[in-house]
Amino acid sequence: MDARYKCRAVRSPRGARVSEIDWGDGHKSTYPHDVLRGYCPCAGCQGHSGTIAFIAHEDGIALELENITTVGNYALSLKWFDGHESGLYSYKYLRALCQCAECAPASVAASREPLAR
């Protein structure tokens, strides 16, 4: 398996609003929970359109995690404090959501490509 999609460790202090993942290639990702929750991949949050989008939730939605379970060797299942637990976050998906300075500018740069004239 590609080391980039191998999760070595997950850190999510109880009550925190941020989780960290250490990857097999040495990369570290930090995820604010509003990002994780907003990108919850379950059908209940995303509908069935097939494209994943950031869903802004109303105030008051749980941004603390109650439980993190590894699913096989390919995904994490996150259970939020309000009981929502249908989101299955594959490591590939999580890696693509990385918010670090190294990964995030790549997507920003792509969207700033000068328009062809």
Please give the Cα distance from 66 to 86 (Å, whole number).
Answer: 13
CB of 65 to Zn ion, least distance (A): 13
Q: Which is nearer to Zn ion, 15 or 44 (CB)?
A: 44
Q: Which is nearer to Zn ion, 12 or 87 (CB)?
A: 87
CB of 76 to Zn ion, least distance (A): 13
Q: Which is nearer to Zn ion, 42 or 62 (CB)?
A: 42
Please give the Cα distance from 86 to 29 (Å, whole number).
Answer: 22
Q: Which is nearer to Zn ion, 12 or 98 (CB)?
A: 98
CB of 23 to Zn ion, least distance (A): 8
Handedness of CA 88, 100, 66, 24 (dihedral sign): positive
CB of 117 to Zn ion, least distance (A): 33
Please give the Cα distance from 95 to 112 (Å, whole number).
Answer: 22
Residue type, 85: E
φ, ψ dihedrals at 67, nearest 5°: -160, 145
Q: CB neighbours (10 Å) of residue 61?
A: 14
Residues in touch with Zn ion (CB under 5 A):
40, 42, 44-45, 87, 98, 100, 102-103
